[in-house]
């Protein structure tokens, strides 16, 4: 590896604001302790530094920034020069990403997310899958710090422009609608180390402090380019219940199984919709003879390509994400049920349970494309239109309690502007052409 003498250092600070709940998560050990001690806490919390400010690790930023450079057409050679390379033939990166932190330490508050996994076959919450994740709320800002060593004018421009047009997805669960971020301010400055004053500054300041002192020139920010989306507008017809695994705490009245909320909003979780959508899509692909992937990790079918998979030998991140959607004009009710004893067929003693349900409202299922346009995305547009029809006709229900008659929705009128669903006949034609092309 060549060691080049440092002649100039260009520094950047970029302020990044979360526009959906997010953060890089650290698993917690309290839930395990909890069983023995009675202390319970979240399963995962945002990474913090000493002093309780939240942290955005440099590796998280660097991975996402590398993808952004690629999508802006920066070639492999330039990419390795800037961002480095590991493996057999390592190359140090000249752009050092020092990471970021929240400027106001620890007083940004948190959002607590409770969820359970839904059983694919029964449509009900699976036992022992209750999960409590603490996330940073939308609006949280990170100041991030960057150092570029000996940049050419071209490289300097590439990094400045890329920072100014960056629209990153950062942290965990981004394919479930977390981690949307927006760059709201970029500043830069350069030190010429042959100049005595600059050299002194360089020697007496380090890392984030150096960046803050030197980066004083503002870099232009561009509006983020919207991602391609598919939107299914839906109206609630029969009670809808996406549970969190949480109940009300009353000891005198029956506890109520609560639905998902985000702040004041009732929310249809993208994570759950994703499971339902994928199951239905897998079923269609299977019946059309296009896939046989019951474990959802064959790695070669269309569904694995779109929704990602994990396997012992690798895996692939999803190329689409499904956002949480707030229910508009929502009205809720509580419904009481009696659990039936499976053997006697009668009511079980003291087995009254109560669900909070949403009985009115409209919402949009929003699917965003993360990768460049592809045949798979075009096929997804057709498949989603077919699933939307199944929802409309009641063959597919959303949320828990399908056996209690919950979860019926219908297609709502599409708004005048914005993305439109593929017409039904076009979706059918697209799929029949695709099936034909796959048959020998």
**Segment contacting Zn ion by CB under 5 A, of 50-58, 272-280, 301-309, 420-428:** 301-309
Number of residues in the chain: 440
d(CA 205, CA 214): 10
- In the window 163-202, what residues touch Zn ion (CB under 5 A)? none
Q: For 381-420, b where at least 16 C-beta lie within 10 A, e where not — what string?
A: bbbbbbbbbebbeeebbbbbbbeeebbbbbebeeeeeeee
Please report how close the Cβ of residue 283 comes to Zn ion at its closest, in angstroms.
13
3-state secondary structure of 67: helix
Give the one residue of 304, 320, 357, 396 binding Zn ion; rule: CB under 5 A: 304
Phi, psi of 395 (to 5 degrees): -75, -25
Please report how close the Cβ of residue 366 comes to Zn ion at its closest, in angstroms.
24
3-state secondary structure of 310: strand
Tokens 């997805």, residue located: 169
- In the window 11-50, what residues touch Zn ion (CB under 5 A)? none
Phi, psi of 54 (to 5 degrees): -80, 155
226: tokens are 């919207």
Please report how close the Cβ of residue 425 comes to Zn ion at its closest, in angstroms.
28
Phi, psi of 133 (to 5 degrees): -120, 135
Please report how close the Cβ of residue 78 comes to Zn ion at its closest, in angstroms.
35
- Give, for 146, the enclosing helix (H) or strand (E): strand 141-149
Is residue 281 near Zn ion by the rule CB under 5 A? no
Please report how close the Cβ of residue 308 comes to Zn ion at its closest, in angstroms.
10
Which string of x and - marks every residue 79-118 that binds Zn ion (by CB under 5 A)? Answer: ----------------------------------------
Q: Enter the DSSP assignment of 294.
A: T
Please report how close the Cβ of residue 370 comes to Zn ion at its closest, in angstroms.
18
Is residue 411 near Zn ion by the rule CB under 5 A? no
Query: By C-beta, is 210 or 301 nearer to Zn ion?
Result: 301
Instruction: Provide the β-strand partners of residue 143.
Output: 15, 101
By the 8 A CB rule, do 110 and 23 touch? no
Give the one residue of 95, 301, 367, 422 binding Zn ion; rule: CB under 5 A: 301
Number of residues engaging Zn ion in binding (CB under 5 A):
4
Query: By C-beta, is 305 or 368 nearer to Zn ion?
Result: 305
Q: Around 85, how many Cα atoms within 13 Å sit in the side-chain half-sphere?
A: 12
Is residue 376 near Zn ion by the rule CB under 5 A? no
Is residue 268 near Zn ion by the rule CB under 5 A? no
434: tokens are 């695709």
Tokens 């399908």, residue located: 402
Please report how close the Cβ of residue 389 comes to Zn ion at its closest, in angstroms.
23
**Segment contacting Zn ion by CB under 5 A, of 242-250, 258-266, 300-308, 406-414:** 300-308
Is residue 293 near Zn ion by the rule CB under 5 A? yes
Phi, psi of 169 (to 5 degrees): -110, 115
Give the one residue of 111, 221, 262, 298 binding Zn ion; rule: CB under 5 A: 298
- Taking residue 122's Cβ as centre, other Cβ atoms within 10 Å add up to 11
Query: By C-beta, is 297 or 328 nearer to Zn ion?
Result: 297
d(CA 401, CA 339): 12
Q: Nearest residue to Zn ion, using CB?
A: 293
Please report how close the Cβ of residue 316 comes to Zn ion at its closest, in angstroms.
10
Provide the binding-site residues for Zn ion, judged by CB under 5 A: 293, 298, 301, 304
């Amino acid at each position: 590896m060549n060691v080049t003498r440092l002649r100039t250092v260009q520094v950047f600070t970029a302020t990044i604001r979360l526009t959906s709940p997010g953060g890089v998560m650290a698993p917690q050990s309290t839930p395990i302790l909890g069983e023995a001690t009675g202390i319970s806490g979240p399963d995962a919390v945002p990474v913090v530094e000493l002093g309780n400010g939240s942290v955005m690790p440099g590796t998280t930023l660097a991975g996402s920034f590398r993808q952004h450079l690629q999508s802006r057409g920066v070639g492999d050679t330039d990419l390795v020069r800037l961002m480095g390379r590991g493996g057999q033939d390592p190359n140090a990166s000249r752009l050092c990403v020092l990471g970021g932190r929240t400027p106001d330490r620890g007083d940004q508050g948190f959002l607590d997310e409770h969820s359970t996994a839904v059983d694919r076959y029964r449509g009900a919450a699976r036992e022992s899958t209750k999960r409590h994740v603490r996330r940073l709320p939308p609006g949280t800002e990170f100041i991030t710090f960057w150092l570029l060593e000996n940049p050419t004018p071209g490289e300097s421009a590439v990094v400045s422009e890329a920072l100014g047009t960056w629209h990153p997805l950062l942290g965990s669960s981004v394919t479930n609608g977390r981690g949307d971020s927006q760059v709201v301010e970029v500043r830069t400055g350069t030190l010429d180390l042959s100049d005595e004053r600059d050299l002194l500054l360089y020697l007496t300041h380090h890392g984030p402090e150096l960046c803050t002192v030197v980066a004083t020139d503002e870099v232009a920010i561009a509006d983020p380019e919207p991602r391609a989306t598919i939107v299914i507008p839906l109206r609630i017809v029969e009670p809808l219940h996406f549970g969190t695994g949480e109940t009300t705490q009353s000891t005198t009245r029956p506890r109520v199984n609560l639905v998902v909320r985000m702040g004041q909003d009732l929310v249809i979780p993208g994570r759950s919709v994703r499971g339902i959508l994928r199951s239905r899509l897998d079923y269609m692909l299977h019946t059309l003879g296009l896939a046989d992937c019951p474990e959802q990790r064959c790695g070669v079918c269309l569904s694995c390509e779109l929704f990602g998979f994990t396997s012992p030998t690798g895996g692939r991140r999803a190329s689409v994400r499904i956002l949480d959607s707030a229910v508009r004009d929502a009205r809720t009710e509580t419904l009481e049920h009696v659990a039936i004893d499976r053997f006697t067929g009668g009511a079980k003693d003291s087995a009254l349970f109560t669900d909070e349900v949403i009985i009115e409202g409209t919402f949009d299922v929003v699917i965003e494309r993360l990768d460049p346009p592809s045949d798979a995305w075009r096929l997804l547009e057709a498949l989603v239109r077919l699933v939307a029809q199944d929802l409309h006709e009641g063959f597919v229900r959303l949320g828990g309690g399908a056996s209690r008659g919950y979860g019926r929705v219908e297609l709502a009128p599409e708004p005048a502007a914005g993305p439109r669903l593929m017409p039904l006949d076009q979706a059918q034609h697209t799929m029949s052409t695709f099936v034909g092309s796959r048959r020998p």
